[in-house]
Amino acid sequence: MNKVTVLGSLNVDTSFRVTDFPKPGETISVKEKGNAAGGKGANQAVAASRLGAQTSFIGQVGDDASGRFMVKSLEEDNIDASCVSINPSVGTGTATIMLDEDGQNCILVYGGANQAITPEDIEGAEDEIASSDFLVAQFETPQNVAIRAFEIAKANGVKTILNPAPAPKSIDPELLKLTDIIVPNELESASITGIEITDEESMVKTAACFAEMGVANVLITVGDRGAFYMIDGKHNLVPAYKVQAVDTTAAGDTFIGALSAQLKTDYSNVEEAISFAEHSSSITVQRLGAQPSIPHLDEVKELINN
């Protein structure tokens, strides 16, 4: 069993189902409303825990009911939340999600306490990081915090996975040098490298570009085409497991969590881990909500074996 530590965001999600997204100045009716625990970091930790990993979380919430709700939700998924700090002056993060009839989404995020976490807060989580197999981070917390966490990880032989989402305007070069595997989707990849993903040749060029930035291992999710990897100099495109999507909100987060739960630290099972992550995401997109849609290990195993 992998031990996975996730550094990331904790948001209370409010979802609205609509027929079509509103145009500027337009008022529309909402067909359905829901509230659930979310945040890219929290979603990835829930996925890792449900899909086979011993999981810990590093993050920050406000001293409010939403923060207590988020910590409780982590613990209910058997995630160690002892490294979640409480900020008395900033509220817990929130996200407002609109979902259309095609399963596409638009998301408004208030960072709150997620953006107030500091490198000093990471120092208290050093033992948790050092005892992990993988440390995962995204960009709903500050980059300087991820750098400090990755420094601790690298000093202790822990593999680092960076999910560059939401796509930033720029990435600190130091963070990339500390990253073992970068896992963007095709749009995030193009935003960072300037190379549009159109075919396998462009994927190989993208991997070379990331290597020049200091990241030797790349895994790019490319929608219904599957996932491309360049790991230890070997590359391939693993075909997607295709289904009809209802809600894509936590698809990428499920993929990251599943990958970190199943990937061996020597990457020897990379194709099997990618396929497992794709099957996991295929279940997620057929359900509504972020964390409520993330499957458990027995569901994915049943899907793969059938």
Q: Which residues are catalytic?
A: 253
Distance CA 48, CA 4 (A): 7
Q: Known binder of ligand: residue 12?
A: yes
306 annotated as belonging to a binding site for a ligand: no
Query: Is 46 known to sit in a ligand binding site?
Result: no
293 is in an annotated binding site: yes
| Residue where the block lists tokens 């195993």 | 301
Q: Where would I find the H helices in 90-229?
A: 113-116, 119-123, 126-130, 143-155, 173-177, 186-193, 200-213
Peptide bond preceding 166 in cis form (omega within 30 of 0)? yes
Q: Is 94 annotated as a binding-site member?
A: no
289 known ligand binder:
yes
Asked whether 293 and 287 are in contact (CB, 8 A), the reply is yes
Task: Walk across the sheet containing 93-99 and list its strands.
Answer: 32-38, 11-17, 93-99, 105-110
Q: Is 11 annotated as a binding residue?
A: yes
Q: Is 43 annotated as a binding residue?
A: yes
Per the annotation, does 270 bind a ligand? no
285 half-sphere exposure, CB direction, 13 A CA radius = 24
Asked if residue 247 belongs to a known ligand binding site, the reply is yes
How many C-beta atoms lie closer than 10 Å to residue 251's C-beta?
25
Q: Which residues are annotated as a binding site for ATP?
A: 185, 221-226, 252-253
Q: Which residues are annotated as a binding site?
A: 11-13, 39-43, 140, 185, 221-226, 247, 249, 252-253, 284, 287, 289, 293
Please give the annotated binding residues for substrate, written as ranges: 11-13, 39-43, 140, 253
- Residues within the annotated binding site for K(+)? 247, 249, 284, 287, 289, 293
